[in-house]
Amino acid sequence: MSDTLDLAIDLISRQSVTPEDAGCQKLMMQHLARLGFRSEVLRFADVDNFWARRGDEGPVFCFAGHTDVVPTGPVERWRSDPFRPEIRDGKLYGRGAADMKGSLAAMVTATERFLAHHPRHRGSIAFLITSDEEGPSVNGTVKVVELLEARGEKIDWCLVGEPSSDVHLGDVAKNGRRGSLGAVLTVKGVQGHVAYPHLARNPVHDAAPALAELAATEWDRGNAFFPATTFQISNIQAGTGASNVIPGSCEVMFNFRYSTETTHEQLRSRVEAVLDRHGLDYAIDWTLSGLPFLTPDGELVDAARHAVRDVAGIDTRLSTAGGTSDGRFIAPTGAQVLELGPLNATIHKIDECVGVDDLDRLSSMYERILKRLLT
């Protein structure tokens, strides 16, 4: 049992289904207090967050992450209780093992070892931890960042512990993310009897050609860092449930994951132009969940590459694929942001797990990144 494995088991044992924290942050702050960190508990609405910092000078290196986890799904389908961590065949099983309580444990133990060898490091080390990453993400990291910005407290480098790896620990690091723009489109019609369509107007029929055009549109071709922007319909609802009633309205949910080649304003304008051209009677509610961001080669990327090569003997591939992360709230402040964490093969799944050896190796990677940047 290593210190990292021990702490990971303690964190996974706490049922912190979003937005609950279940004492995870208190446990982390107790460890950090022994290392000389000053922690601020920052609760917004029903969300627990904390900001901890050791040092008063810059540059500021920040570990960022979340203690909340997604629901377990059917517990009976798990081979073991998702909140009673179990080691089998060299893997630690439990909800949050990979996303991202294993990373949180690695962050803390890496910091402990680094400070034991470098108590007078340059700059500052910080932790920004939330319990609202898997949920709406409105009272978590974004609120803490707003507070830090208001008082002029800047993060220079931010390492997010999201599970970035593909086949081997450290083979992929995320140096950016696509933007996310969602919408709920309501197409209005006239309800009526299916036998008398001339007395009604079917909003599903009206919407179909426009939706087909949107689905077939090339929004951009991406660039060297980002894949092409994608449009996906995630839900369509209409009708009363009766087979002989023409619906009076149709609701369509869709989402863009977009590159830096396109802005959210351009996407909105192009979509609405298509809807108008098809003569739809509609209302649309847009939600911008995150802007795209990119961290180019620099000190943080370089430090991570060296750390992965030293520990795992492989070269890291930079990627901007995947969903959103809380890095989208930190990058706009000017910080270099990078995501480096365990394998993502089992995240959000039944029997989520992380390699036991990977936990210690990840902690070693984090320690080497600290050493490269702050000594």
133 tagged catalytic: yes
Active site residue: 20, 48, 68, 206, which one? 68
User: What token pair was written down for 292?
Assistant: 């795209």
Beta pairing class for 353-355 and 293-294? unpaired
From the list 48, 99, 133, 156, the catalytic residue is 133
- The residues with which 65 forms a beta bridge, in sequence order, are 129
Could you tell me the two tokens for 9?
């088991």
Report how far residue 176's alpha carbon sits from residue 325's, in angstroms, rounded to the nearest whole number. 9
Residue 39 to residue 27: CA distance in whole angstroms:
12
Strands (E), the chain: 38-44, 47-54, 60-66, 86-88, 91-93, 124-130, 157-160, 172-174, 176-177, 179-188, 192-193, 230-238, 245-246, 249-258, 282-290, 293-294, 317-319, 336-339, 353-355
Contact present, 62 and 155 (Cβ < 8 Å): yes
Nearest to 271 by CA among 182, 203, 204: 182
Tokens matching residue 258: 């977009």
How many Cβ atoms from other residues are within 10 Å of residue 31's Cβ?
17
Cα–Cα distance for residue pair 35/119, rounded to 1 Å: 9
Which residues does the annotation mark as catalytic? 68, 133
